[in-house]
Amino acid sequence: MSAERQRGDGLFPPGAYDRDDEEPDDRFYTMPRKVVHIDDGAIAALGRLYAEVLPAGGRLLDLMSSWRSHLPPGAREVIGLGLNAEEMADNPQLAKSIVHDVNRDPRLPFAAGEFDGAMCAVSIQYVTHPLRLFRELQRVLRPGAPFVVSFSNRCFPTKAVAVWLGSTDSQHRLLVRSYFEAAGGWTGVKDEDRLVYGNGDPLYAVWGRRA
C-alpha cells in the first residue's frame, strides 16, 4: 500500500487527512512567504515556552522550518528542515537548512540520536502522516530530549488536513496529544493553553520527551 493511501497512519478513518489542495506541497511552497503566522504577543509567548522546555545549548531540529524560528538567544546549533530554501536561508538562527517534504517522505534525513531537542511551530495542521513523523522524531532525538509542537487558530485552509479543519482549538490540543500517545516512546506529555490575553492570537502547545 502506498504512503498516500496510508494517510493518518490508521489513527482516524479514511478521509480524515484529506486536503482541499492535493497538489504536491513543494509546489505550494515554491514562492517564499516571508511573513510570520502569529502576532508579536504569540511570538513572545512561544519564545518563553522554548526557553522553559528546550535546552539552552546542544543541537536542535526546527521541523517544517521557515524564515524565523522564534528561539530565545542562546548558544545552540539549529538545523532547519522545510520546503523553501530561500526562506530558510534568510533565517538568522539556522546553522544549516535542508529541503525535505515530510508528507511525501516522513523519514527524516538524519541518523539516530542526532538532536537534543526539536520543535514544530504552527505547521502540525498540514501533516498527513503524523504517527510516522512522530516516530521519526523519536528516532532522531536523544533520550530525554523534548519535542515542542505549537499552533494557533490560523492556517492555510486548503492545505490543512480535514480532521484539523473540523475541530475546535481545544480539540486540536487533544489531537496533537494523541499523536504523541499513539506513536509511543514519549514521556511527560503536556498540553497547555499559552493564550495571549487581549485581542492577540492564541497560542497552544503540546510537548513531550523522548523516552
Per-residue model confidence (pLDDT) at position 52: 96
Per-residue model confidence (pLDDT) at position 206: 98
Q: Is the pLDDT of residue 163 over 60?
A: yes
What is the average pLDDT value for the chain, to the nearest integer? 91
Strand 117-121 with 146-151, pairing: parallel
137-156: per-residue pLDDT in tens? 999 999 999 999 999 998 98
106-138: per-residue pLDDT in tens? 999 999 999 999 999 999 999 999 999 999 999
Average pLDDT over residues 192-198: 79
- Phi–psi pair at 171, nearest 5 degrees: -70, -30
Higher pLDDT, 2 or 44: 44
Percentage of residues in the chain having pLDDT higher than 70 = 91
Q: What angle do CA 37, 82, 201 make, to 5 degrees?
A: 15
Per-residue model confidence (pLDDT) at position 37: 75
Q: Model confidence at 5, in pLDDT bands (50, 70, 90)?
A: very low
Average pLDDT over residues 160-180: 96
- Length of the chain in terms of residues written: 211
This prediction has a pTM of: 0.92
Grid cell in block for residue 12: 482516524
Contact 65, 88 (CB under 8 A): yes
* Contact partners, residue 82, CB within 8 Å, separation at least 6: 29, 62, 64, 65, 66, 88, 97, 98, 99, 100
Question: How far apart, in whole angstroms, are the C-alpha atoms of residue 121 and residue 37?
Answer: 9
Q: 6: helix, coil or strand?
A: helix
Question: How far apart, in whole angstroms, are the C-alpha atoms of residue 39 and residue 20?
Answer: 26
* Contact partners, residue 101, CB within 8 Å, separation at least 6: 24, 25, 26, 83
CA distances in angstroms from 101 to 81, 143, 163, 200, listed in the order given: 8, 25, 20, 31
Higher pLDDT, 80 or 14: 80
64-85: per-residue pLDDT in tens? 999 999 999 886 899 999 999 9
